[in-house]
Amino acid sequence: MIKFDAERFFSKNIVVVFGAIICCMLWGSAFPCVKLGYTLFNVDTSSYSSLILFAGVRFTLAGVLVLIFGSITQRKILLPKRRNIWRVGVVALFQTAVQYTCFYIGLAHLTGVKSSVLNGLGVFFTIIAACFIFRTERFNLIKLLGCVLGFGGVLIMNLDGLDFTFTFVGEGLIIMSGLSAAMAAGFVKIFSKYENTTTLCGWQFFCGGIALVIIGAAAGGGIRPASGASFGMLFYLAFLSACAFTLQGHLLKYNPVSRVAVFKSTNPLFGALFSAIILGEREQLLHYTTLIALALVCGGILVINLLGDRDHSPQARLRREMKRFRVKLPQKRAKYYKNFA
């Protein structure tokens, strides 16, 4: 019997490229599919409680799918350690409850194309939070340039002629969704040292989803599936979250973060493209402000992921040159070089 070598498989270039692009396509498809879900479940988009309830049902199911798949692959029931329950609660608050309350309400007031571009700010907020709040990364000029490009793209996206259009329940909540996602990313990075990542994220999806269901139902929200297609859309929305997270987790486990993260620049692109195709928003996609904004946001993400964490110290340059020319240190000097580097 041939044993499956996960590390060898997930570190292949073709697997990394196609796997990361599949993740971005799944996340991008969420924008138009959520808006279609509003119609298929007869969600009153003026009722915030109904929007919250719909989000809660989706992420409760997504949590169940992640935990089932994780339990099967790891051959054990995934349960958080007792001392980590509060950590699950913190991530559930930012990653699911706050982020998707803001996202679902904001998306109901904007087009899918515009939401996709604005949501790209989440990457820049994550960088800023990692550097200045969680102190897990260093801020540098390259990251500053990337953030300037990204925020510049959002400014252009909101220009209507010479007027700047902005509403709190639309653009404001989508931006707040990105802020909450950035905080969640920082907490996940820290808390994953103490808890299995699949366990942490599966349970936070489930707990955050349950919380949203309770809040939405208690506030009088309601959803009514129109047909069997409604349940198909709900399952797809839950599946895309579970699948994209699981696949990205495997890619990050066996590859450098930068090798996978560089593909995040396609998230806004896929979101805008799918919205144009599925929702018929081609006119807005092809408008010059949208195209410029997309180029700036995607370019900013690309700059940060390709160059942002590159070490320019003399020691790092020496290491890169040695790797380039395949220079191997004598065994006696290996310890000295390690200390030097």
* 122-156: pLDDT as tens digits: 778 877 887 888 887 788 888 888 888 888 887 88
Question: Is 214 in the same domain as 327?
Answer: no
d(CA 288, CA 14): 34
Question: Is 245 in the same domain as 340?
Answer: no
- Lowest mean pLDDT of 44-53, 159-168, 192-201, 276-285, name the range: 159-168
Q: How confident is the model at residue 309 (pLDDT cuts 50, 70, 90)?
A: low
Question: Is 319 in the same domain as 195?
Answer: no
Question: Is 285 in the same domain as 341?
Answer: no
Share of the chain above pLDDT 70, in %: 85
Question: Is 274 in the same domain as 329?
Answer: no
Q: How confident is the model at residue 336 (pLDDT cuts 50, 70, 90)?
A: very low
Q: How confident is the model at residue 338 (pLDDT cuts 50, 70, 90)?
A: very low
| Angle (nearest 5°) at CA 78 between 72 and 82 | 170
Average pLDDT, rounded, for the chain: 83
Tell me if 118 is assigned to some domain. Answer: yes
Q: How confident is the model at residue 184 (pLDDT cuts 50, 70, 90)?
A: confident
Q: How confident is the model at residue 335 (pLDDT cuts 50, 70, 90)?
A: very low
Tell me if 1 is assigned to some domain. Answer: no
Q: Would you say 276 and 115 are in contact if contact means Cβ atoms under 8 Å apart?
A: no
Residue 248, pLDDT score: 79
Query: Is residue 162 predicted with pLDDT exceeding 60?
Result: no
Question: Is 109 in the same domain as 203?
Answer: yes
d(CA 268, CA 113): 8
pLDDT in tens, 4-57: 777 788 888 888 888 888 988 999 999 999 999 999 999 999 999 999 999 999
Question: Is 142 in the same domain as 267?
Answer: yes
Question: Is 322 in the same domain as 291?
Answer: no
Tell me if 198 is assigned to some domain. Answer: yes
Domain ranges, residue 84: 6-310
Share of the chain above pLDDT 90, in %: 36
Q: How confident is the model at residue 102 (pLDDT cuts 50, 70, 90)?
A: very high
Residue 323, pLDDT score: 55
Tell me if 333 is assigned to some domain. Answer: yes
Number of domains in the chain: 2
At residue 287, the 3 state secondary structure works out as coil
Tell me if 215 is assigned to some domain. Answer: yes
Tell me if 331 is assigned to some domain. Answer: yes
The residue ranking higher by pLDDT, 77 or 192, is: 77
pLDDT in tens, 225-282: 988 899 999 999 999 998 988 887 778 777 766 567 667 778 888 888 899 989 888 8
d(CA 232, CA 245): 20
Residue 136, pLDDT score: 72
Question: Is 87 in the same domain as 173?
Answer: yes
Tell me if 113 is assigned to some domain. Answer: yes
Question: Is 94 in the same domain as 174?
Answer: yes
Tell me if 169 is assigned to some domain. Answer: yes
Question: Is 266 in the same domain as 319?
Answer: no
The pLDDT of 180-198, averaged and rounded, is 85
306 exposure class (CB count in 10 Å sphere: 0-12, 13-18, 19+): middle
Question: Is 84 in the same domain as 111?
Answer: yes
Helix or strand (DSSP H, E) at 235: helix 228-254
Residue 337, pLDDT score: 41
Query: Is residue 88 predicted with pLDDT exceeding 90?
Result: yes
Query: Is residue 98 predicted with pLDDT exceeding 60?
Result: yes
Query: Is residue 71 predicted with pLDDT exceeding 60?
Result: yes
The pLDDT of 222-226, averaged and rounded, is 91
Task: Give the length of the chain.
Answer: 341
- Lowest mean pLDDT of 72-81, 270-279, 284-293, name the range: 284-293
